[in-house]
Structure 1
Amino acid sequence: MDDLLENNFGKDVRRTTKQGLRKVHDALADTPRKADKRLQTVSLLWNYAVNKLDWPLGSNPSVGIDHFGKQREFEPWPEWMVNKLADAPATVKTAAELILGTGQRPNAAIKMERDQFRGEWMDVLDEKSDERLEVFCPEDLRDYIATLPRAGKHVLAKNLNEPLGYDAVEKAFRAWRKDLGPEAKPYVLHGLRKLAIVRLAEAGCSDAQIQAVTNQSAEMVAYYRKKADRRRLSKAAHTRRI
């Protein structure tokens, strides 16, 4: 809603058209969930204005525009792409370290405050349930954050009191990803959260232990555990062959 307000403040909402809204939706195709969320937000606001405020807006322009819908599950990043983070822009590298180290969704990781880190422990946010959880903070993440200059109360700070927005980080990530070549295009920031699950599974963590870190459903953990098991078993098979 804040993004809509920032881009459309002062405009006549009655001039919103299906064609214009479809163009915005298509422009966000690289981030399908964000694109669909934009349509859903416009629809909710439009219906509220018509049904609750009696604004004479006419028919809802979002009706009839096909959503991208549920996409294929986000693929965990390959190790070659993780290794490229060493030379990534600071914003991208820090966002990646936060997502990998905390197991959170990208938006929650990007908005983390320094006070959420307390030695061996950290507070993480499950955005779906709006629940804050206290979990163990990996030593490599603690060490990385300790090297960062303090520019505000957030790890990724826009100013003293505000974090960098997800859009700013995602834009920097897409520019960096483009430089890596076409083989990097299928991978998105959310894939780092999936990689965190795979790494925990490969390290021998139980489903319950993984859920204690990521707070995901048993079904989702099981889905990515299969990837971890396949990688581990294939490595063991080829090691025996040599």
Structure 2
Amino acid sequence: MTKLPQKPRLEWKMVRGVITPRHRASYTVNGKRRERVVTLDWQDDPQELDRLYWLCERGNHPIQKPKPPATSWRVLVEAWRKDPIKQKSLSDETKRSYRRTMDALLEKNESKDVSKTTRQHVRAIQARLADTPRKADHTIQVIRMLWNYAKKTLDWPLGENPAAEIKLFGPQRELPAWPEWMVKALPTAPADVRTTSELILGTGQRPNAAINMRRDQFDGESMIVWDEKGDVAHDVFCPPRLAAFVKGLPIEGQHLLAKNLTQPKGYDSVEKQFRSWRKTLGDKAAPYSLHGLRKLAIVQLAEAGCSDAEIQAVTGQSAQMVAFYRAKASKKRLSRAAQNRRDQNKNGT
């Protein structure tokens, strides 16, 4: 008979005629001795036995993990998502926005008890997201909304809302369009950032819509762009430069930025790469975001002499937003013309 491995807290017992390994650990609760025994399904594989044994030693075996509370964040989010009344009142874009924020919230909190969430916890989340003020504010608003839903709709026994009256960063200033030097630095950016940037500039879409673009959205001189805010798709002209760029991308799945064969990469993944690259450009790059490329598209179109209606057809931006960035483009164009005339006058030409 093969000698059975021997380890501290590992015992071998005959169970239904089969020698079976079990991890037996003792501990004390309120002065009383307790034991927890975990049967190890090792399948006669010494390596699997070793893996299961060390899971138990670290307290990470599934059987050792405490059962999530009935009032966990995961339970709350799933209840909110299944509420037909809540979901009926939301647009598809709002649902997607909530889903992204809730999924991020669940990454570290899904098994935690909602009732044990404190204002300190909420402030810590806000501080962690301070580099992205809009995301920080939306996260606080989602926590506030979910807490109220749990208390008023699910009748959970919760106290005061820990996210209530926490000061938000508030409306941010209009996002600045990228300067030319930053666009010229794009070749030094990670591949995902370069691809995303080309798609935003070429299509005028929001970053998330650009990241989610599929290959079948491009067909010769046409492309399908998505207006996330209006939840509407538009068939528009595809500029030759963008068509050539897309054609040159490696095929790794249905999407241009493919996570696998059928799914795109996430916005957070690309945005994180962008922020890392932005740091390499120094403090002067700090004010600029991926959204600023969409604003640059407006400025470039305005400088090219496009009408407001033409710019809206390309970018899907509101008339007010187009007017705002057109004014910037006009000021730059007028100042250039004025300076050139002044130089010509000095030179007597």
Shared fold (TM-score, shorter chain, > 0.5): yes
Partner of 1:71: 172
Deviation at 1:235, TM superposition (A): 1.8
Residue aligning to 2:266: 165
- Which of 1 and 2 has higher RCO (CA within 8 Å, sep 6+)? 1
Q: CA deviation at 1:86?
A: 1.5
- In the alignment, the residues of structure 1 paired with residue 227 and residue 162 of structure 2 have an alpha-carbon distance, to the nearest angstrom, of 32
Deviation of the 1:48 alpha carbon: 1.4
Correspondence 1:56-205 to 2 at 5 A: 56-205=157-306
1:6, distance to aligned residue in structure 2 (A): 2.8
Normalised by the size of structure 1, how large is the TM-score?
0.96
1:42 maps onto 2:143 in alignment: yes
Amino acid at match of 2:305: G
Structure 2-normalised TM-score? 0.67
- 1:234 & 1:148 partners in 2: Cα distance? 39
Larger CA Rg, structure 1 vs 2: 2
Aligned residue identity for 2:185: K
Q: Which has the higher strand share?
A: 2
CA offset digits 1:139-170 (Å, max 9, x no partner): 11111111111111111111111111111111
After TM superposition, the structure 1 stretch with the greater mean CA deviation from structure 2, 72-81 or 36-45, is 36-45
Structure 1 window deviating more from structure 2 (92-101 vs 43-52): it is 43-52
Deviations 1:203-235 (A, max 9, x none): 101001111112221111100001110111122
Q: Report whether the alignment pairs 1:233 with 2:334.
A: yes
Instruction: Name the % identity.
Output: 63
**Structure 2 letter corresponding to 1:213:** V
SS in structure 2 at match of 1:151: coil
The Cα shift of 1:13 comes to: 1.6
1:43, 1:128 → 2: CA distance?
23
Report the Cα distance in structure 2 between the residues aligned to 1:39 and 1:60, rounded to whole angstroms: 11
State the Cα distance separating 1:5 from its structure 2 match.
2.4
Equivalent position amino acid for 2:212 in 1? K
Listed as ranges, the gaps of 5+ residues in structure 2 are: 1-101, 345-349
Query: What SS class does the counterpart of residue 174 from structure 2 fall into?
Result: coil
SS where residue 233 of structure 2 aligns?
strand
In the TM superposition, what are the counterparts of 1:3-42 in structure 2 within 5 Å?
Answer: 3-42=104-143
- Counterpart of 1:14 in 2: which secondary structure? helix
Structure 1 residue runs without a partner (length 5+): none
Q: Deviations over 1:46-102 (max 9, x none)?
A: 111111111112221110111111111000000000000022110110111111111
Matched pairs, number: 242
Mapped partners of 1:17, 1:194: distance in 2: 39
Tell me, what secondary structure is at the counterpart of 2:236?
strand
Shift of 1:7: 2.7
